[in-house]
Amino acid sequence: MTPPLGPVTGSAGRWSDLERPPLNAPALRRALVRPGALWTSLDVVGATGSTNSDLVARAAGLPEGAVLVAEEQTAGRGRLDRAWSAPARSGLFLSVLLTPDVPVGRLAWLPLLTGVAVATGLARAAGVDTALKWPNDLLVRVGGEERKAGGILAERAGDHGVVVGIGLNVTLRADELPVPTAGSLALADAVCTDRDPLLRAVLRSVEEWYRRWTAAGGDPAASGLQAAYAAGCATLGRTVRAELPGDRELTGEAVAVDGDGRLVVATADGSREAVGAGDVVHLRPAG
């Protein structure tokens, strides 16, 4: 058996903020690591640079279903190498190792699947309506405004593995927001901000959607994933600006997410272009 990832001591004590108690790792393992379950191990560390980097580095020695959670990330990363940071124990910062037996061309659906799963889990456990901004942002409403509360980052690990990272602001207060457009579950009036049940709900939902998707051979339509993503995607129906590789921009209405997980943008000249990589900016609310 591969030894667990050892604890990393953070700069702050475990109970330095009584409103932000530490995660109960033994209870989480009892609830999630069971015979026949997807999750095969679950480790909680006090602080680390990036759970994704740690899990990618150790992926070759771990079975599918390894989960690494950090109480604090000091060098968390989002898409396009953007930094992700938050106070200790103020959110959920975790990565999971998956080895899906699906065609390589369908792996692009894995971060979108994770977004659907996280939104579903949060709706159940936190009572918060979480929308998805293509391709990997988690949005909540704070005071009637759309705010980013989380994100997802998928990275290849070896020949067959994928490490999927999830970062979610849970109890972040207004004076702790890194930027004015950020949000958290607490600021969105969540009915629950206890991270233990939230983490259980998120991982159970990821397992449920992952089982469904892999059972369908990664087919997003047959598994219901494509329809579920479209239903929860706040990008569809909006005018967007896609900032594409090579300093190219594309402006138009986001009209669909195609079978490859790409965002289809209809431009003013009547053409349609599928965007598979780049940054998307919402220019106006959906009509």
Whether residue 261 is contained in a domain is answered as yes
CA angle 83, 84, 90 (to 5 degrees): 160
What CATH number does residue 166 fall under?
A: 3.30.930.10
* Distance of alpha carbon 151 from alpha carbon 135, whole angstroms: 9
Residues 156 and 71 in one domain: yes
Whether residue 94 is contained in a domain is answered as yes
* Distance of alpha carbon 153 from alpha carbon 203, whole angstroms: 16
Residues 83 and 220 in one domain: yes
Residues 77 and 132 in one domain: yes
Residues 172 and 68 in one domain: yes
Whether residue 91 is contained in a domain is answered as yes
Residues 240 and 253 in one domain: yes
Count of domains in the chain?
Answer: 2
Whether residue 8 is contained in a domain is answered as no
Map tokens 């939104």 to a residue: 119
Q: What's the pLDDT score for residue 286?
A: 57
The residue segments making up the domain with residue 261 are 235-282
Chunk the chain into consecutive blocks of 10 residues (it has 287) and report each block's average pLDDT, rounded to whole numbers. 42 59 98 98 97 96 97 72 77 98 97 98 97 97 96 94 98 94 97 98 98 98 98 97 92 98 97 93 75
Residues 162 and 51 in one domain: yes
Residues 129 and 199 in one domain: yes
Residues 91 and 138 in one domain: yes
| CB proximity list for 34: less than 8 A, separation 6 or greater | none
3-state helix, strand, coil in the chain (%, to 5): 25, 30, 45
Q: What's the pLDDT score for residue 3?
A: 41
Residues 214 and 244 in one domain: no
Q: What's the pLDDT score for residue 208?
A: 98
Q: What's the pLDDT score for residue 285?
A: 66
Whether residue 12 is contained in a domain is answered as no
Residues 255 and 226 in one domain: no
Residues 242 and 264 in one domain: yes
Whether residue 35 is contained in a domain is answered as yes
Whether residue 17 is contained in a domain is answered as no
Q: What's the pLDDT score for residue 77?
A: 55
What CATH number does residue 253 fall under?
A: 2.30.30.100
Strands 83-84 and 137-142: what pairing? unpaired
Q: What's the pLDDT score for residue 287?
A: 53
Residues 148 and 276 in one domain: no
Alpha helices in the chain (DSSP H): 25-32, 51-58, 109-125, 195-215, 225-232
Among candidates 231, 138, 152, which has minimal Cα distance to 188? Answer: 138
